[in-house]
Amino acid sequence: MGSVGETILDAQERMKREGWCVIPDVIGPEHTQKVLDELWSVAGSASQRGEDTFLPFLDPNASNVRVFYLLEHAIFRELIQHPTALHMVKSVLGQQFLISNFTANVARPGSKSMGLHSDQSLVTPDPWTRVEAMSVVWCLTDVYFENGATLYVPGSNKWQRRSDISKNAKTNLKPFEAKAGSIVVMDGTVWHTSGANVTKDQDRALLFAYYTAPHLRQQVNWTRKLSKEVQESLSPEMEEWLGLGVAANLGEAILHLKYLDDQFAEEGGSSNANTAAAFAKSSHSR
């Protein structure tokens, strides 16, 4: 298992330097196929209910199949809590974070690229001086340039404003290539787009687990979307990550708020911080 640990350490170092990494073989072939089969079943049910699986403002044609609200289903709730994924999330965002969204994008033959963007630029204004969002991308098929691998601009994690976007960004795009069962971890400052699938018969199926710093409003209001049955089945940790507890955005208060008498002492104030932490914990208990 030593090589696995080394892979994680290498991945963390790449994240710091370049804003992305690929971790292979996070789930095995049977598990990967089971998730892919479930994804197509969920996509079919969504279509039968009349839900959109093609959004014209995102994709040039219907060869991209989008599936939303994956956390309604147990197999995807398990995946978004995978220990390797959470390890990488905490190494980038810290111990406190929110699950903002979990969606799928299947690029079928004939699909084309969406617009160039960074995930953080969609939820926060510039300047982007620190990482406050990230995605863990689950590869349910082999992913390579010809079947529509996600394309990214190397070095774009250093851009802080829209004015920094390179005029030749389109010509500098490179693919994230990975085998089925791998994850691509990408922080929210990396500029990227979906690739075009130019194959005749090969799908490219990806799941996008989107995590953010706890002060950012989530893309999905899980209180409204998840059924009462699902919400009652969640662990206290999942409740917190989905923002379903009573308390909200106590992060900096827990870390820094102190009694005035203790605030300027060399040591002290921990009692009030502990009180805030206890309150946050109790608000997520049943």
Split at pLDDT 50, 70, 90, the class of 260 is confident
Q: What is the pLDDT of residues 107-154, one digit of tens each?
A: 999 999 999 999 999 999 999 999 999 999 999 999 999 999 999 999
Contact status, residue 176 vs residue 149, Cβ threshold 8 Å: yes
Task: Count Cβ atoms within 10 A of the Cβ of residue 57 and give its class: 0-12 exposed, 13-18 middle, 19 or more buried.
Answer: exposed
Task: Name the residue among 63, 104, 33 with its Cα closest to residue 199.
Answer: 63
d(CA 110, CA 95): 41
Residue 2 pLDDT grade (very low, low, confident, very high; cuts 50, 70, 90)? very low
What the chain holds in terms of domains, given with CATH numbers, is: 2-241 (2.60.120.620), 251-283 (no CATH)
Q: Which helix (H) or strand (E) holds 175?
A: strand 174-175
Backbone phi and psi for residue 110, each to the nearest 5 degrees, phi listed first:
95, -10
Q: Is the pLDDT of residue 254 over 70?
A: no
- Region 246-250: mean pLDDT is 78
Residue 266's pLDDT band, with cuts at 50, 70 and 90, is: low
In this structure, are residues 150 and 176 in contact, taking their beta carbons and an 8 Å threshold?
yes
Greater pLDDT, 90 or 249: 90
Q: What is the pLDDT of residue 263?
A: 75
Length of the chain, in residues: 286
127 prior amide bond cis, ω within 30: yes
Two structure tokens written together for 106:
């299947």
Q: Are 101 and 226 in contact (CB under 8 A)?
A: no
For residue 231, how far is the Cα from the chain centroid? Answer: 20
pTM for this one? 0.88
pLDDT digits (tens, 9 = 90+) for 46-72: 988 888 899 899 999 999 999 999 999
In this predicted structure, the answer to whether residue 87 has a pLDDT above a threshold of 80 is yes
pLDDT tens digit sequence for 160-172? 999 999 999 999 9
